[in-house]
Amino acid sequence: MTSNNKLVEVKDLKKYYSATAGLLARHIGDVKAVDGVSLDIYEGETLGLVGESGCGKSTLGRTVLRLEEPTSGKIFFRGQDITHLDKRGLMNLRREIQMVFQDPQSSLDPRMRVADTIGEALLIHGMKDEKERGQRITELLERVGLEPEHALRYPHEFSGGQKQRIGIARALAVNPKLIVADEPVSALDVSIQAQILNLLADLKAEFGLSYLFIAHDLSVIRYISDRIAVMYLGKIVELAPKQHIFDHPLHPYTEALLSAALKPNPHSKQERIILQGDVPSPMNPPPGCRFHTRCHKAVEDSPRIEPPLIEWEPGHWVACHRFRK
């Protein structure tokens, strides 16, 4: 159950990458992958993060986890500023925040047995007793639906779904409070996706976990999330409880995303919104509202003024010139 206690606070977070060209690697600009994002994640909550490929979702997740160094802004975890931790501070943080990666194949070392993959985290964080580690590994494997004898096998001996279960067991090893799940089911078959989503939901309830769940599949986001943040070109454009997003979207980009999703009702008459043009470059985003070059509801101020993210309704935030206070 979601509480009112903030686990993570992100304030005006930016992550820019330097772009270079030529033999001398001349600086030609910055790729603004994350550009002024503010959001909260509450204890026991799953915050879904959705948007087109390249909008900055994964970069935001990795920056919150401190796998990427922020360009500016602040990140707070349980009230502590974790924006610029030293090496020891980061190691302590890893006990609290873990990650499940998109591709289970590439996230597992093919030369390491499963027991070593999971046990490595336990060893790093102080569990020196080999027998105790073995018991913990067995508990974790059983909890994610694998057998104890799987601990002696290598990654190539498992299916994609089983590999992702190993990745989840590894993330759980040090009893984290937050898991950043970056497209954790996108590389899996649909039937396996449902199993992994159900497992994540069960683990959340059992261990009191919070998730930052990154995906582009709206049906997955709808199933797993409590609230949803919609991201476009490095910025959050809408943030609300999931039913508000699906039943009453405010931002034109959210409307377009929902219209493109497959409907379970074949008789639904909702029109498909076709976005014009390509996604602009994050190195040179449009002035004003970043979505105005593709927006079917753009207004006069859209190209000139960037709309702030405001709370239009209780708990429902939107950044659009059509909603002003």
pLDDT at position 50: 97
In terms of Cα–Cα distance, which of 88, 162, 98, 170 is closest to 133?
170
Q: In the structure, what pLDDT confidence band is assigned to residue 279 with cuts at 50, 70 and 90?
A: confident
The residues, any chain, with a CB within 8 Å of residue 117's CB and separated by 6 or more, are 108, 109, 155, 166, 170
pLDDT at position 243: 95
Has residue 267 got a pLDDT over 80? no
pLDDT at position 105: 84
Q: Express each pLDDT in 217-243 by its tens digit.
A: 999 999 999 999 999 999 999 999 999
For the chain, what is the total number of helices (H) and then of strands (E)?
Answer: 9, 12
Domains parsed from the chain with CATH numbers:
6-256+275-317 (3.40.50.300)
Mean pLDDT of the chain: 92
Mean pLDDT lowest among 60-69, 97-106, 122-131, 300-309: 122-131
Q: How much of the chain, in percent, has pLDDT values that exceed 70? A: 97
pLDDT at position 129: 85
In the block, which residue shows the tokens 């979601």? 2
Q: In the structure, what pLDDT confidence band is assigned to residue 270 with cuts at 50, 70 and 90?
A: low
User: What is residue 281's DSSP assignment?
Assistant: P
Burial code (b: 16+ CB inside 10 Å, e: under 16) for 152-169 equals ebebeebebbbbbbbbbb
pLDDT at position 124: 85
Instruction: Report how far residue 42's alpha carbon sits from residue 6's, in angstroms, rounded to the nearest whole number.
Output: 4
Residue type, 184: P
pLDDT at position 5: 92
Q: Taking each helix axis from N to C terminus, what angle separates 130-143 and 160-172, rounded to the nearest 10 degrees?
A: 130
The residues, any chain, with a CB within 8 Å of residue 10's CB and separated by 6 or more, are 37, 38, 39, 40, 64, 73, 74, 75, 76
Q: Express each pLDDT in 5-25 by its tens digit.
A: 999 999 999 999 999 888 888
pLDDT at position 23: 82
Instruction: Report how far residue 184's alpha carbon sits from residue 204's, in angstroms, rounded to the nearest whole number.
Output: 15
pLDDT at position 296: 87
How far is CA 256 from each of CA 27, 266, 271, rounded to the nearest angstrom?
Answer: 36, 18, 10
pLDDT at position 277: 77
Has residue 272 got a pLDDT over 80? no
Q: Express each pLDDT in 42-87 by its tens digit.
A: 999 999 999 998 999 999 999 999 999 999 999 999 999 999 999 8
pLDDT at position 265: 61
Q: In the structure, what pLDDT confidence band is assigned to residue 291 with cuts at 50, 70 and 90?
A: very high
Instruction: Report how far residue 188's alpha carbon sits from residue 103's, in angstroms, rounded to the nearest whole number.
Output: 9
